[in-house]
Structure 1
Amino acid sequence: MVSIMGKKAGSNRLKRQMMPAFWQVPRKAYRFAIRPIPGPHPIDRCYPLGVLLRDVLKVVSNMRETEKVLHNGYVYVDGVKRYDVHFPVGLMDVVELQPLKKVYRLVPRDGLILKPIEIAEGEKMEKEKNLKICKVVRKHTVKGGRIQYTLHDGRNILDDPKLNGITINDSILIKVPGQEVIDTVKMEKGALALITAGDNAGTTGRIVEVKEGTITLPKRVVVESDSKRLEIPADIVIAIGRERPLLSI
């Protein structure tokens, strides 16, 4: 008798030797770690929510406590309750821990691709926890001749008068969990920029030149920071403001 079985789903765990380098998890303590589920961020540029709470923020002691905290609806990501320890959190995401009254934004810092930075409690926290800077990674025309903008965290925004002139690599300040457009920043000379990957991850500076790509080279951005100039691929640079950053980073 031939048994017919459906295709097995992917594993929900990851060997620790295969973890991204920026995960602050001991590699030799245990064999496996949590694997992020497919979602708004790629696996090499995100934390699973369980790892963030247990190993990075250290607000829980073990995964059983983590699951209980999430099940009770105490954790919000970009203003939405999240219940899954595997949910991926990445660049510019806002994580709110309601019982502790703490809010964190994930940004590059100190050479790490992602590091949670606490937003100071008070008026600033109440304002900034609902705001997020997103980078435009795709722009195309959809049915009906409408323009759709795809952002770095998988969001899509259809025609909006505030986005006239905005193109790929520019940034949009939106309100979460909705997607109301608050402000925009073009990736152009004079804008403030943040490097999101590589040895200079977390470095901020002012754009002094934007170089168009060629057949062999990608589009590059020259960023001036601390009296030195860095020529970085535009893919790993995000515009964060004009005279000053739109948010605390």
Structure 2
Amino acid sequence: MLRERLKYALTYREVKMIVMQRLIKVDGKVRSDMFYPAGFMDVVQIEKTKENFRLLYNTKGRFILHKVVKEEASYKLCRVKKVQRGPKGIPYAITHDGRTIRYPDPEIKTNDTV
């Protein structure tokens, strides 16, 4: 992503140096693993340049990095995969990235974005 999409590095070695300096954050957490699987709706932050990107799909289904402002980068958009009731009738929603939200809004349905 740093080399092919953003053009911040020319070689694999340069990418490795950038990542090992702990300058890249994915969803607000520093990632020093070069092969960390950033996915749909993840926010990639580069601290040194103060840039924020959200990983989205283009019309052909390929990943693109969409530049976002700092306020928007603080939000994580998640698509609801399943809404169920747990023990004692407590409602919960499961999102596309594996998060579980207890007591969601009763109007939330499957395939909504929260």
Deviations 1:62-119 (A, max 9, x none): 2222222222221111111111111111221111111111111111224233111122
Residue 132 (str. 1) matches residue 76 (str. 2): yes
> 2:87, 2:30 → 1: CA distance?
32
* Partner-residue secondary structure (3-state), 1:168: coil
> 2:2, 2:75 → 1: CA distance?
21
Residue 103 (str. 1) matches residue 103 (str. 2): no
Flag structure 2 segments of 5+ consecutive residues without an equivalent: none
Amino acid at match of 2:76: K
> 2:88, 2:19 → 1: CA distance?
41
> 2:30, 2:92 → 1: CA distance?
26
Amino acid at match of 1:171: T
> 1:133, 1:155 → 2: CA distance?
11
Residue 169 (str. 1) matches residue 103 (str. 2): no
Flag structure 1 segments of 5+ consecutive residues without an equivalent: 1-51, 120-124, 173-249
C-alpha RMSD over aligned residues: 1.7
- Off by >4 Å, runs of 4+ in structure 1: none
Count of aligned pairs: 114
- After TM superposition, list the pairs within 5 Å mapping 1:73-112 onto structure 2: 73-112=22-61
> 1:77, 1:109 → 2: CA distance?
20
TM-fit CA distance, 1:144: 4.4
Deviations 1:1-32 (A, max 9, x none): xxxxxxxxxxxxxxxxxxxxxxxxxxxxxxxx
Using a 3 Å threshold, how does the CA distance of structure 1 residues 113 and 146 change in structure 2: closer, same or farther?
A: farther
Deviations 1:139-187 (A, max 9, x none): 2233443222111122221124xx2221211110xxxxxxxxxxxxxxx
Amino acid at match of 1:168: T
1:71 to 20, 24, 27: 20
For the Cα contact (< 8 Å) 2:52–2:70, is it kept in 1? Answer: no
Amino acid at match of 1:169: N
- After TM superposition, list the pairs within 5 Å mapping 1:117-196 onto structure 2: 117-119=66-68, 125-160=69-104, 163-172=105-114
- After TM superposition, list the pairs within 5 Å mapping 1:198-217 onto structure 2: none
Structure number having the greater strand percentage: 1
* Partner-residue secondary structure (3-state), 1:112: coil
For the Cα contact (< 8 Å) 2:84–2:91, is it kept in 1? Answer: yes
Deviations 1:222-246 (A, max 9, x none): xxxxxxxxxxxxxxxxxxxxxxxxx
Using a 3 Å threshold, how does the CA distance of structure 1 residues 144 and 60 change in structure 2: closer, same or farther?
A: farther
